[in-house]
Amino acid sequence: MTETFSSNRLDCPEALGLVAACGYGRVVGTWHALPHAWPVAFRVVDDVIMFPRPEGLEVSSRVGPAVVGLEVDNGSAGCRPEWSVMVVGELRRCAAPLPVELAGSPVDFDGSLDNVVALHPGVVIGRRLGAAGQPEQPPRQ
């Protein structure tokens, strides 16, 4: 039996809720005009994803704010994730003051906004992949 993509699709609020609960993912942007992925720890505040800007990740371009992707799942080494969410949106520098929700965060925001960026979701695509914790299967030939 083959399940279609649409039968596994997560609605936007559920997908963003899973992202918020996870707090760790990979932001995808460009570095020296080539695709690059950086691991990031983040917090979600009012549906905006905030994280310290990784070195090399551009926040803007000549034409406006940078558009980046954030991929988040609940997989671990050697185990298949149960779900995966991709968030695509504009990346902006954070405006002062630092949101109170970030105080005491496990993410190192160091009390300032000098290096904190905010991903404003434009497109959120989430789907269920299968049961968590199952060992990965080799590809079928």
Q: In percent, how much of the chain has pLDDT > 90?
A: 35
Fold of 5-128: Pnp Oxidase; Chain A (2.30.110)
Token reading at 30:
């460009």
How crowded is residue 44: how many other Cβ atoms within 10 Å of its Cβ? 20
* pLDDT, averaged across the chain: 78
Name the H helices within 4-113.
12-22
Share of the chain above pLDDT 70, in %: 70
Distance between CA 71 and CA 66 in Å, rounded?
16
Instruction: Say what the pTM is.
Output: 0.76
Predicted local distance difference test score (pLDDT) of residue 56: 82
Q: Give the pLDDT mean for 25-54.
A: 89
Least confident of 26-40, 53-67, 80-94: 53-67
Q: If you average pLDDT over each of 62-76, 79-93, 105-119, which comes out highest?
A: 79-93
Averaged over 109-134, what is the pLDDT? 76
DSSP readout, 120-137?
A: EEEEEEEEE-S-TTPBPP
Q: Residue 64 has what pLDDT?
A: 74
For residue 138, what pLDDT band results from cuts at 50, 70 and 90? Answer: very low
- Quick: pLDDT tens for 71-104: 999 877 677 788 999 999 999 887 665 566 655 5
Q: Is the pLDDT of residue 113 over 80?
A: no
Domain ranges of the chain: 5-128
